[in-house]
Every structure is written in C-alpha cells, then in structure tokens.
Amino acid sequence: MVKHTFATEPFRPMRGLSNPHAQTIAAYYLRSEKGVAFRRERMETPDGDFVLLDYADVPGKTWRDLGTAAPIVLLLHGLEGHARRGYICETVKHLAQYGIRSVGLNFRSCGGEMNRLGRSYHIGFTDDVTLVLDRLHARYPAVAFGVVGFSLGGNVLLKYLGEQGERASGRIAAAVAVSNPFDIAAGIDVFSNGSGRRYAQRFLKELRAKALAKADLIGAVVDLEQVAAAQTVTAFDDACTAPLWGFEDARDYYDRSSCIRYLPAIRVPTLLLRALDDPLMALDVPFQLVHDQPWLVPGFTTRGGHLGFVAGSAPWRGVFWAERQAARFLATLLV
C-alpha cells in the first residue's frame, strides 16, 4: 500500500492558549454540547451485561435527513467519559457537514448507568468495540464505517485495529485516534506523578468510587482496603484493574494493553492526532514506526495539550482543530 497523502491543516493555538494546560482546560470549557440531540439504545452483551449507544442527530442533518446510505462513524470516549462529551459533540457536528452519521459507544459503567458485572472496561478492552461494530455492520451492511477514538478510546481503537489486522478492513474504511497514549508503561509516571497528576487525581477519585460501589461483586478478587488506599492510578491498577482482568500486576496490564505493540498489524488507513506537549503523557510517540507503517498517517503538532487543539481568534470564535481534521480525513475515505 502507498501511504495516504492526507495532510492536516496547520494548527495555531488561540492567542493566550499556548500553554498545554491552558489548551487542555480551555477546550473542556469552550466546547459546546449544544446543537446535538441523542437517541439511546441499550445493547445486551453475550456475558449478561450491556453497553449504551448514543445515536447523534444534528438539526437539518439527522440520521433520517442523511438517509440510509450515509456512512456511519463510531465514536469512543476517554477515561471516565461518556459519548456525549464536548469533543464527541464537536466531532459529530463536523461529520454531519460531510453527510456522515455518528453513534457513540459508552464504555461499561459510563453513560450515567452502572453496568451489571463486577468488571467494566479498561484501556485495552476491545471486546465491546468488536461486538458493537459487528452488530452495526449487520444492521447497516451496505454503508461505509469509520471509527474515532479519544485518549483511552484512541488506545482501544488502535489495539482493536492491530488485533483484527486484515479482518478490520472488512468492517472499517478509515479510523482516527486523538490524544492517545502509545506506550502506557513509558508514560504512566508522567500521568500519575508528573505534569498529569492533577488530572489523574480526578480520574482516580471516580475509579475508586466505582470499584468500592461494587464491593459485593469484586470483594472476592480484589483487596478493597488497598483500593481505598490507592493514591496513584498505578496503585489502583495494581490493587483493582490487574486482578479483576487477570493481569499479573499494573506493569503487565500496561504492557499488554498498549497499542504500540499492535500498530505494525494495522491494515486500515488511520490518522494519528497527537500534541507533543500533551501534559498527561510522556513523549512516547513511535515516530519511526509511524513513518514506516504505510497505513498510519501522522498528524502530530508541537502544541495542543490533551484533547485541546483550540484555535481561532477568540473564545466565542473557537475552532476545534482535531475534530475538524478527523472529519476531513474520514470524509476523504467514507464519502
């Protein structure tokens, strides 16, 4: 295969938002969830659990307006997020302008409703992506599909594509990963103890609360006292994630879940959008591998923060660069 020639537009941070933390925090508050309506579907899973799907409608370009032949993009949110986050809504609006329909997958325990089982999701859990794509493809067999993953969802997406290899090309025509980690073990100290610590503590609080709320379901496998005492994400993963999912420890979990080991097997055109100043991650971008792998399209920027990429001349005229690039790329291959 010849490497895809898609080129991202230049990214210029909004004035006053050159700092990576400013980009990360401003994007969270500036993105608007207005202009998108959602219809929810509960999809039962073979193991007795369920996932929640959010079908997104933009006024004038709803699923009905766009028609049954319009392409469909599945959206995967980040850690402890949901399928109605601001970055999802911005992507939905951009995709709709190209005539592309969108549906978001809420990972188990996300989306405002706790799942039934003791286990929910993790950064390498791809089973539900496989399940949802297979069922959507069976329901809409004649349309082109794409996938966009954000942060944790980006790692899940890339791992899924690598696991599936050639098989994925029969389901997906194009994919985009935004602000994803590549080598989790290499970057976990930055997230837990370095520049990402403030963000990690918020996630850790939510993860601990969810785990302890399931004490009766996981108590036989997990040391709940260690979970409650965990002060870093790594400590939580050692105490909870690893034993729940059958990993030896947090390091084994990170090594086996990191998408970097799956990138060589990807056979779907995939755009990688990542800021090199991302404060939640170490500089773990495998530049040579991306250069040599013809299916991977680099979209790396010097600045942008984590899920930031806020451009434009003023807050009320904000331009969300990553969502725009993702829609542009997908439109070249789906429409």
State how far the Cα of 179 lies from the Cα of 322, in Å rounded to an integer: 9
Q: Are 148 and 330 in contact (CB under 8 A)?
A: yes
Q: What is the 3-state secondary structure (H, E, C) of 238-294?
A: HHHHHHHHCCCCHHHHHHHHCHHHCHHHCCCCEEEEEECCCCCCCCCCCHHHHHHCC
Give the predicted TM-score (pTM) of the model: 0.97
- Shared domain for 221 and 264, answered yes or no, is no
Kind plus residue range of the DSSP H or E element containing 212: helix 197-213
Nearest to 123 by CA among 275, 41, 202, 234: 234
Question: Domain containing 263 — which CATH number?
Answer: 3.40.50.1820
Residues 69 and 144 in one domain: yes
Residues 162 and 38 in one domain: yes
Instruction: Give the pLDDT of residue 247.
Output: 98
Q: In this structure, is residue 10 part of a structural domain?
A: no
Question: Which of 257, 273, 289 marks a domain boundary?
Answer: 257
Distance of CA 189 to the CA centre of its chain: 21
Residues 327 and 268 in one domain: yes
- Structural domain ending residue among the three candidates 257, 279, 306: 257
Please, what's the largest Cα pairwise distance for the chain? Answer: 55
| pLDDT at residue 123, as a whole number | 98
pLDDT recorded at residue 5: 86
Please name the residue that has the structure tokens 């020639």: 5
* Dihedral angle computed from the Cα positions of residues 280, 106, 255 and 179, in that order, rounded to the nearest 10 degrees: -30
pLDDT value at position 138?
Answer: 96
Domain presence at residue 138? yes
What does the pLDDT read at residue 1? 73
Name residue 79's amino acid: L
Cβ proximity of 51 and 128 under 8 Å: yes
Structural domain that includes position 278? 20-183+258-334
Cβ neighbours of 63 (radius 10 Å): 18
Question: Which structure tokens are listed for 256?
Answer: 């086996």
Helix (H, G, I), strand (E, B) or coil at 41: strand
- Domain ends where: 203, 222, 257? 257
Q: What is the pLDDT tens value at each position of the chain, 335 positions in all? A: 777 889 999 999 999 999 999 999 999 999 999 999 999 999 999 999 999 999 999 999 999 999 999 999 999 999 999 999 999 999 999 999 999 999 999 999 999 999 999 999 999 999 999 999 999 999 999 999 999 999 999 999 999 999 999 999 999 999 999 999 999 999 999 998 899 999 999 999 999 999 999 999 999 999 999 999 999 999 999 999 999 999 999 999 999 999 999 999 999 999 999 999 999 999 999 999 999 999 999 999 999 999 999 999 887 788 999 999 999 999 999 99
Take residue 203 and report the two structure tokens written for it.
Answer: 């996630």
**Residue 24 and residue 81 in one domain:** yes
Using alpha carbons only, give the angle 37, 133, 96 rounded to the nearest 5 degrees. 35
Q: Is residue 175 part of a domain?
A: yes
Cβ burial of 43 (10 Å; 0-12, 13-18, 19+) is: middle
Q: Give the pLDDT score at 140.
A: 97
The pLDDT, as a whole number, for residue 193 is 87
Residue whose C-alpha is closest to residue 221's, from 246, 252, 253: 246
Task: Count up the domains in the chain and report the number.
Answer: 2
